[in-house]
Structure 1
Amino acid sequence: MNIAQFISHFPYPDQFENPRLIRDYVCSGGEIAAYKLAVNLARLDHGVHVFTSSVDGRESLETVEGMTIHRYASLTEVGTTRISPALLWGPLREKGMDIVHVQHTTPPGGAAGLAYAGIRRKPLVVTHHGFERFENYGTLARRLFVFLTANFFVDFLFARADALIAVSPFFASRSRYLKKYMDKTVSIPNGIDLEEYQTPLTAREARSALSLPDAAPVILFVGSLIPRKGVDVLLAAMSRVVGEYPDAELVLVGQGLMREQLARQAEELGLGARVRFCGFIGDVAQKVLYYRSADVLAVPSVDDMEAFPLVLLEGSALGCAMAVSDLETFRILIRDGETGVSVKTGDPESMANGILSILGNPELRNRLSTTARENAGRFSWKQAALETEKVYRRCLAAGGPR
């Protein structure tokens, strides 16, 4: 089967080692998930063609891990999204595709995939990675872009899809878009390559490698520094944590437009010396060290349309004890008191209680670590690829596009 996968950004081979790509070609959870799925579909002997943007004004053709990646020249950007007009017509030169799969993160990839499926009369599958709401920040152009996407484009795209994929059943039932199309929506959770998230190092050795304090409690956050991730809530919670553990340190791994605002908040709370901004870490081996170093992994997201953050799987695979917002969409992985501690969403006091309950109870921390690691074993990219393959075959058996 020849699969045409469309996505606005798709990681380069050196995406997370190249400072320019990290800065100018943003790839986060949705893009990483799309990459892993494409690799595993290629391993099932499918022809996987990825159509996406480039980081600059050049077109390129790459063959990576069994995939063929077609990159089209970017002429401008809106927010952090590259705009490649040729993505709309360039893929039409490729005529041997059997099915179109849009990995919907931002609109350019979705628009291009929709156009290709319509013109070539191919079945269209769309994976929804959680773009649901108008987030009112950034430039005027970005705000307009997001407003039009959230209020018009997403529903237009989903209405024309032959099948929709949600990354968790809880997300599917709550999504304002997907719940209109439950008859053609299936849930296929993200996966993880467990072998990548292993290390022989102890927590002390990992901390030494990262120059983190040897014995002080370390609370870790991994994710984008943007409003829906709730890092401001976590900072407020740290005031109480530091009150009980004066040497505790909050380690923030990620980048985003709230970086300076959060730094000011930390100073205003008197936490400047207790908060470490580490920037974006994409290299898995380096990220593993941070997870191994943590006493608590905090996931303080405040948006109930967070679909399935990969940080939950990554932290689970490393046996992190987690304090996590009690979002319904997280329940596919987090069971309160078993695989993590659930805290009231958006409530600094509740987050502080969750963190302190883990720090103050080694038995609980060890139990959470063990069950989280076991739970992560239920999710694999190979299984996700096999389930996605079934969706493709059903669409093809149904006789093509709607």
Structure 2
Amino acid sequence: MRYQAVTPVTPAPPVVTVVGIGADGWPGLPDTSRAALRDAEAVVGGPRQLALLPAECAGERIPWPSPLRPAVPGLLDRYAGRRLAVLASGDPMFYGIGRTLTEIAGAAAVRVLPHPSSVSHACARLGWPVEETEVVTLVGRPADRLAAVLHDGRRVLVLSAGANTPAEVAALLTDRGFGPSRLTVLEQLGAGAETAYSGTAAGWDHAPGDPLNVIAVECRRAPDALRLGAAPGLPDAAYEHDGQLTKRHVRAATLAALAPAPGELLWDVGGGSGSIGVEWLRTHPSCRAYAVERDPARAERIGRNAARLGVPQLRVVTGPAPDALAQLPAPDAVFIGGGLTVPGLLEACWAALPPGGRLVANTVTLESEALLADRYRRHGGELVKLSVAHAVPVGGFTGWRQAMPVTQWSVTKAGAEER
């Protein structure tokens, strides 16, 4: 057998070199990173990072403009053909500028020279296994995101947004029933000025310290706090509602039928209290969701529930469906919890789904049940009736009180619709 010689392809030089740097600055950099910075004709970074470079790095120093991401394409064009370096804190690919640059310029155009991240430093100081430690960043993100990972006994590292973040975290933990949790603030990790101090969330009285800090949380739930598990089907008491709430057992069955997967997008149509969208997002941090609710008071309530339960990224659209659906990005799954008899709603949701997308619709009325039965005949899927009864006192005894049965249609859209 003969083999044809293959001419090796020389990769194009990178457009930009991203250098991770720690709080220890220039002395903590390896030779490769130092050489890249010495050789650069221009270096982009935050003012604090640029100040860590010695005079031997003679390239033009450019502070990042704000907002940062929209400025990246213009900077790359401005310095095209020149040796451009970018400074980043720690590992540039861990909640850093490396992701933005690779998304805009392409991975082949970006050379990344990482430094140990603050997470690596913190876990080393605390003796925590990195793979067993939850990490939440509050840099440019609301503190409410932390609530989604609060479970008794878990260890969490919070990437701080500044000097006031530890007190903000302590207040949130106390408000969410985790006041007994122990907090350790680690400042200037890896630098000569590194320090740490601790306390409980409920008793936190430390003044703001260094803005460069990481917060370690050892989660402890207060005995009287409501327990929220990691699986769908949170207690109904976890939600603020006016009666428009998919109840716990039906909610768990609905999420099972929707089958969320990382990165997928849900439309929660007729959001009510937002429980389906909220619990979709709680399954994985990369999931996305829109809750569509025509009533402004309920729409505001959805936002409050999402924030309290740790998923403030839930996008709430106030307006009637199907009109309010027109500008939304295509979903991977749709849940219809109300409005099935509104003309065109079911058709619009079905048309928006790509092949392989899932639709789940719940109803308690005979009129809507007839619509779902018709769709079941046309498209297949699964049509079930969910019935839940609760034990209640009956005089001196105990009996069953039946909740209204819920008819549920769930279906996966085929590659081609023939009917």
- Normalized against structure 1, the TM-score is what? 0.29
Higher helix share: 1
Higher RCO, 1 or 2 (CA under 8 Å, sep at least 6)?
A: 1
Higher strand share: 2
